[in-house]
C-alpha cells in the first residue's frame, strides 16, 4: 500500500513539474498595443511607521494602507481593461506576514488586504481568461526594511507615545524591540532572484501557481505556521517576543 502511495506522490510531482515548465508561446506579442496588456506586477510597498499597535495612531495605519493596498487596487483597476483584453496576468506581491501577523502589524494588515483582494480578483477574472497570482516573499534585504529606517520609526513612535504607554511598556521593551528588529534584518536573504523567478514564472507559465512562497523562511516558518491551530502560533509569539514591563 505504501509503495502505491509513494508512486502516486511521485507521479503527481512529475506531472506538476512538467505542467509548470510549459511556457506561453509568442510572449513577444503580449504587449500594450492592439492586444492589450499581458502582465501587471504590483510590487510597490512601504513598511514604516512600524511598531506596537498602541504606539500608533490612525494616520500611521492609513499611510501604510494607502500605498500597500489602496495604491495597488487603484493601479489594478486602471490597467484591468487592458489586461482583460489580452487575457493576461496580474501578479500581486504580498508577504509571508500576509499569512501570519505578529507585533508591528500595520504592514501585515496591508498584506492581508492584498491577499483578500487578489483572491477575489482571481475568481472574478477567471471568467475572462485572466490569471491572478500572489507572491508571498519572506524576509529580504531591501530599502523597505533597512535598519536605519526601521530604527528611526520605532524611536519616533516611542518619543511620541504618551507617558502612560511608556510606563506600561518600559524603555527596556523598546530597546529589546529595536535589537530584535536589527537581528532579524541581519538574517534577511540578499538573493532577490528568489522573488523575481516567481514573478517570471507567474507571467510566462501556461499554468501559473495561485501562490508562490519566496525564501526558505516563507516556506519553512510562515507557511507551516499559518496552518497551525491559533493557540499554538499565539504561544510561539508569546514566548519568543519581548514582554512589556507591566505584563502579567
The cell numbers describing 82, all together, are: 487592458
- Is 6 a residue whose pLDDT tops 70? no
- Catalytically active residues are 107
The region, left, alpha or beta by phi > 0 then psi within -120 to 50, assigned to residue 29 is: alpha
204: pLDDT confidence band, cut at 50, 70 and 90?
very high
Q: Are 170 and 245 in contact (CB under 8 A)?
A: yes
Q: How far apart are CA 122 and CA 128, in angstroms?
A: 10
- Is 129 a residue whose pLDDT tops 90? yes
State pLDDT tens for residues 27-67.
555 554 456 689 999 998 888 888 899 999 999 999 999 99
Q: Are 208 and 202 in contact (CB under 8 A)?
A: yes
The cell numbers describing 129, all together, are: 481568461
Of the listed ranges 68-82, 84-98, 168-182, the least confidently predicted one is 168-182
- Is 2 a residue whose pLDDT tops 80? no
- Is 224 a residue whose pLDDT tops 60? yes
Of all residues in the chain, what percent carry a pLDDT higher than 70?
85
125: pLDDT confidence band, cut at 50, 70 and 90?
very high
pLDDT winner (highest mean) among 2-11, 71-80, 142-151, 173-182: 71-80
Angle between helices 106-125 and 72-86 (to 10 degrees): 20
- Is 134 a residue whose pLDDT tops 90? yes
- pLDDT at residue 119, as a whole number: 97
- Is 241 a residue whose pLDDT tops 80? yes
- pLDDT at residue 183, as a whole number: 83
- Report the top-level CATH class of 27-142+189-229: alpha beta
Q: How far apart are CA 186 and CA 184, in angstroms?
A: 5
Amino acid at each position: 500500500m505504501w509503495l502505491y502511495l509513494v508512486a502516486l506522490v511521485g507521479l503527481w510531482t512529475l506531472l506538476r513539474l512538467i505542467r509548470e515548465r510549459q511556457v506561453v508561446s509568442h510572449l513577444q506579442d503580449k504587449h500594450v498595443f492592439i492586444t492589450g496588456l499581458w502582465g501587471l506586477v504590483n510590487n510597490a510597498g512601504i513598511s514604516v511607521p512600524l511598531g506596537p499597535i498602541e504606539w500608533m495612531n490612525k494616520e500611521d495605519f492609513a499611510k501604510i494602507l494607502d500605498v500597500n493596498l489602496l495604491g495597488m487596487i487603484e493601479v489594478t483597476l486602471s490597467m484591468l481593461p487592458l489586461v482583460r483584453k489580452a487575457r493576461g496576468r496580474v501578479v500581486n506581491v504580498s508577504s509571508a506576514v500576509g499569512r501570519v501577523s505578529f507585533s508591528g502589524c500595520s504592514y501585515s494588515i496591508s498584506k492581508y488586504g492584498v491577499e483578500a483582494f487578489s483572491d477575489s480578483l482571481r475568481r472574478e477574472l477567471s471568467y475572462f481568461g485572466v490569471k491572478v497570482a500572489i507572491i508571498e516573499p519572506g524576509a529580504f534585504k531591501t530599502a523597505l526594511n533597512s535598519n536605519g529606517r526601521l530604527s528611526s520609526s520605532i524611536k519616533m513612535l516611542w518619543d511620541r507615545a504618551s507617558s502612560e504607554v511608556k510606563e506600561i511598556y518600559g524603555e527596556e521593551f523598546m530597546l529589546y524591540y529595536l535589537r530584535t528588529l536589527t537581528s532579524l534584518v541581519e538574517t534577511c536573504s540578499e538573493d532577490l532572484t528568489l522573488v523575481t523567478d516567481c514573478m517570471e514564472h507567474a507571467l510566462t507559465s501556461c499554468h501559473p501557481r495561485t501562490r508562490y512562497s519566496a525564501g526558505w523562511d516563507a516556506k519553512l516558518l510562515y507557511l507551516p505556521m499559518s496552518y497551525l491551530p491559533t493557540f499554538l502560533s499565539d504561544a510561539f509569539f508569546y514566548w519568543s517576543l519581548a514582554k512589556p514591563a507591566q505584563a502579567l
